[in-house]
Amino acid sequence: MSDTLPLAHSLATLRLDRDEPVVEQIVEKLGGMIRGGALAAGVRLPSVRAMAGRLGCSVHSVVEAYDRLGAMGLVAPRPGAGTFVATIGPQPAGRGADPDVGDEAVSLRGSGPPALWKPGNGYLPEGWLREAWPAAVLHRVQRRMPELLACDGTARGDGALREQIAVRLAGMAMPVSPDCLLTTLGGTQALDLVIRTQLQPGDTVLAEDPGYFKFYTMLERAGVRLHPVPWTPEGPDLEAVEQACRAVRPKLFLVQSVLHNPTGWTASAATLHRLLLIAERHGLLLVEDDTYADLHPGHPVRLLQLAGGRGLIYLSSFTKMVGPATRLGFIAAERPIIEALLQAKLLSAPALPPLMEALVAELLASGRYRRWLDRLRPKLAAARAQAVVRLTALGFGLAAEGEPGLFLWAGLPPGCDPEAVYQAALDRGLLLARGSLFRPERGESRHLRFNAARSSEPRMFEALEAALRMAGRNAGIG
């Protein structure tokens, strides 16, 4: 009887959509709960008949679902006792590594055990992402598989997908013609195309400090100079931008206006408006990266709205919202810029896989993407509130912790050496996202990036607390 209350609480939100295949839904939802830790190893699931009554479906559907979960290694039947949640070992350390921080972090993991927890990873948990793809969407695209697999796609991007993206942008007061959109292989290719078409070796670019570190690496490889601009809870330091424009004549500035990575902060409308005026005055090209903005529950202001689509490049991606396997991004800009970007794209990877574009187009057209975000945001808000409480209790400093979104930019407690904390955590199976990764030229930082959706495991915080104590002792504190 000890399992009854926790199990009932865990299954309380389990609901079926009558418009979608029942067995697939049970497998998807229970599988996600098991992988995400909502159903712990050893818990006995309700009997087939009890689960059927709970879900309002047939006994045969539950039998088939339990069989599929067993084949996946997620549950284990015990004759005469019932069906139990199986023990799932930790994933290999490299699997699902966040490309934002994984490359450098993986190279350091040889000094300790495999990482069991990666609270700085840039993606939503796998158990959450499974909910983004309803079976009905997958089935509709599956019917077109022979056609899609035989199609070579178009370099500009599938027309139906660009229409759906244009409709979505218009709904956010950012009207863009489908002809002024270009699909890309995620946000990384979008940035690469911008760099190749808009910059030359020796140019100077303003770089958020802190900001998206992969962009720094791409610029350095292109022979472009970086000039740091401090990022604040209100957005870029405008005085620093103005001074840089006069002193070094920068050509471009990549700006993450909404739910900035890694801080999670959202720039104010006043700051963005003044930034546009500065950019116009000095001939500075603004590139707006809107990768995480769909997680914002309100109506934040973007540069694209204020500029009316003129004089800047806007890019975004669905990858972070629906899973790393769906590497699909897009660029919106005035037509001459889009045509230049298209020519550059033709020289590398001309067309995205039609199957991938069709999946995202169907997700948007069906309204399921909007519904997914509506379910995701409150779930993320609850996880964020919990992470704030736990990090604050450990002595971390959090600026603008009331912001929504995925990331928390947490300052280490006083007296803790960042490198000592990182190594002590690594020895305990905890891979932290160090703030220095997100600074131009890897400048020193006393901050860590936490993903709120991946910062809910109590044992992870126990390991973090132990790492902080060890780092404090090594520094002669306490």
Q: What is the pLDDT along the chain (478 residues), one digit of tens a residue?
A: 334 446 666 677 788 877 677 888 888 888 888 887 888 888 899 998 999 998 888 888 888 888 778 777 788 888 678 898 987 544 433 333 444 554 344 333 344 455 678 999 999 998 899 889 999 999 999 999 999 988 888 999 999 999 999 999 999 999 999 999 999 999 999 999 999 999 999 999 999 999 998 999 999 999 999 999 999 999 999 999 999 999 999 999 999 999 999 999 999 999 999 999 999 999 999 999 999 999 999 999 999 999 987 889 999 999 999 998 889 999 999 999 999 999 999 987 778 999 999 999 999 999 999 999 999 999 999 999 999 999 999 999 998 777 899 999 999 999 899 999 999 999 889 999 999 999 998 889 999 999 999 998 888 999 999 999 988 755 555 4
What are the structure tokens assigned to 434, written together?
Answer: 């160090």
Judge if the upstream peptide bond of residue 46 is cis by omega within 30 degrees of 0.
no
Shortest CA distance to 334 belongs to which of 227, 182, 155? 182
Per-residue confidence (pLDDT) for residue 70, from 0 to 100: 78
For the chain, give the number of residues.
478
What are the structure tokens assigned to 318, written together?
Answer: 């669905």
Say if CB 352 and CB 384 are below 8 A apart. no
Could you tell me the pTM of the whole model?
Answer: 0.77
Say if CB 410 and CB 396 are below 8 A apart. yes
Per-residue confidence (pLDDT) for residue 109, from 0 to 100: 39
Instruction: Tell me the pairing of strands 75-78 and 285-289.
Output: unpaired
Half-sphere exposure of 58 (CA within 13 A, CB side): 6
**Facing residues of 314 across strands?**
288, 332
DSSP per-residue string spanning 384-406: HHHHHHHHHHTT-EETTTT--SS
Shortest CA distance to 184 belongs to which of 346, 288, 329? 329
Question: Which residue bears the tokens 């069991």?
Answer: 116
DSSP secondary structure letter of residue 44: B
Shortest CA distance to 167 belongs to which of 455, 381, 361, 433? 361
For residues 342, 344, 349, 351, the Cα torsion angle rounded to the nearest 10 degrees is 10
| The one-letter amino acid at 120 | G
Q: In angstroms, how far is CA 373 from the centroid of its own chain?
A: 13
What are the structure tokens assigned to 254, written together?
Answer: 């990549």
Q: Where are the alpha helices (DSSP H) in 283-367?
A: 303-307, 319-322, 335-346, 354-365
Shortest CA distance to 361 belongs to which of 163, 178, 189? 163
Burial tier of 239 (Cβ tally within 10 Å: 0-12, 13-18, 19+): exposed
Task: Please give the helix or strand (H or E) that residue 285 lies within, else none.
Answer: strand 285-289
**Helix or strand or coil: residue 226?**
strand
CA distance 21 to 458: 35
CA distance 126 to 138: 18
Angle at 330 between CA 337 and CA 268, to 5 degrees: 90
Say if CB 391 and CB 460 are below 8 A apart. no
DSSP secondary structure letter of residue 112: S
